[in-house]
Amino acid sequence: MTVQSKLIDPLCITCKDFQHPWTDKCVNATAGILLSATPYCLRVYTIVYAFSLLMRHRVPTLGDLRRTILGIIQSTAFLVTNAYTFILYNCLLRNLLGRYYFGTVAFIPSFLSSLTAIIVERPARRPLLATYVANVGTEALWRMAESRNWVRSIPHGQTLIFAGSIATLLYMYRTSAPKDSIFNILRIFVGKEEAGPIAEPEPLEAGQQPAPARRRPSVCFSSVSDWVRVYSNLIRAKHTSCRHQQSCAAYAVLGGLRPFVGGVALQVALKLVMNIKKVASGKMQWEKHIFNKNTLQLGIFMGSFSFLYKSVSCLLRHSFNRDQAFYAIPAGLVASLAFTKYPDNTVALYVMWKALQILGTMGQERGILPHVPHFTLYLYAFFTAVLFHAGVMESQSLRPNYFKFLQAISGERLSKFNLSAFDVFGLNTQQQAHEMVKSLNIVDKSSLPAFSFASRGFERLK
């Protein structure tokens, strides 16, 4: 109860003592982070847009190059704005209020800076950014709640999230799926044959009699011919409602084999890229990094998911003698068992947020849900504020890679923040930061960050 009451208590520490002890002026601190963050952000988006250009598999035209360069500049401006305006709003709130409160240390200034930054970014990229930060932010919120003993993780919880979300998306894929990139990914796993809408049988004309249903011969396994017939049906049979060309058995097996090979190849490629320096120098430990069972995990998940989904879908069509979009739900739930071979929180949460995003859009179009103007902007700002808050106040609740990202866009300043005054909130903020910095092997090579604009008094002290 004592700790909870301190959340609304003021804290008399200056922004200079907190985030820019090397300079007395907040303007200098803001300008310093703007200048130091720009090269990193420019490098990040140059790689992102160059990769996107290569994925088109065609020679770029002058128009493509022009749009790519303008996109790099605009996205860089967006990320830089998100970085330097955090310091700007932080110092502004501290000077206006005269002190820090729990919410004004990181959350509120980050919300304002994120809202400012996302307006700079291209509208087409805003939903993608909102989905990404919602993914990472949801995990951070869960870890914060878990550290307070408000919630408790359960075994294979990410598999349950993935199963419910992917079954929903697959059902929409089998009906009349709205245009979204997630359905292009699903097409790789389940095939275009499973895409909707499902053709309904043509209505009969007046006086026309329906065609008699073919009765399958019964099997009692009393003779060799019965066994031969079962084997033949298993290998060659295809239900009339199945839209694939080969037999159902071949459809399921080949459908699982291709994603398996692709997943293994992707995993090997990623490991080679991540260890490119070791490969070039000849110091690559191939057995440790490549030739091990971990390399097969992504392929096993992708192949098993496709095989199980197609097998169950065909089984249901054979069992009920028709095809329905509803079959995607049990088939998706069974196929999700493959996720236990590659339980990744990022994938599970991404699928969950994509399902929620599409359902929300469909609900608004049908008048079920209210339309909130600029909802994507506020969603991005909220979850980015959660991530900044976690990075400053509760770093152990944040993904290590995202902490490294915040450290980079802050111009290596995040690890230099003086957080000891915030320990009064009962979160061991400074200790959490020290442990995160130590685990990531972040070493401060200098007491001053780049473009510090250090005051003379600070320079003499150092």
What b/e readout covers 28-49, taking b as 16+ CB neighbours within 10 angstroms? bbbbbbbebbbebbbebbeeeb
| pLDDT score of 2 | 45
DSSP of 87-149, one letter per residue?
HHHHHHHHHHHSSB-TTTTTHHHHHHHHHHHHHHS-GGGHHHHHHHHHHHHHHHHHHHHHHTT
| pLDDT score of 215 | 46
| pLDDT score of 206 | 46
| pLDDT score of 3 | 47
Separation between Cα atoms, residue 334 and residue 75, nearest integer Å? 40
> In the chain, which stretches have pLDDT less than 70?
1-10, 177-178, 199-236, 274-275, 277-292, 455-462
Separation between Cα atoms, residue 303 and residue 252, nearest integer Å? 10
The 3-state DSSP class for residue 11 equals: strand
Taking only the tens place, the pLDDT of each residue in 356-371 is 999 988 888 888 889 8
| Amino acid type, 441 | N
| pLDDT score of 229 | 59
C-alpha triplet 177, 178, 183: angle, nearest 5°: 65
Contact 73, 41 (CB under 8 A): no
Separation between Cα atoms, residue 91 and residue 100, nearest integer Å? 10
| pLDDT score of 160 | 94
Contact 334, 312 (CB under 8 A): yes
Q: Where are the domains of the chain?
A: 2-155+372-461, 171-197+225-342
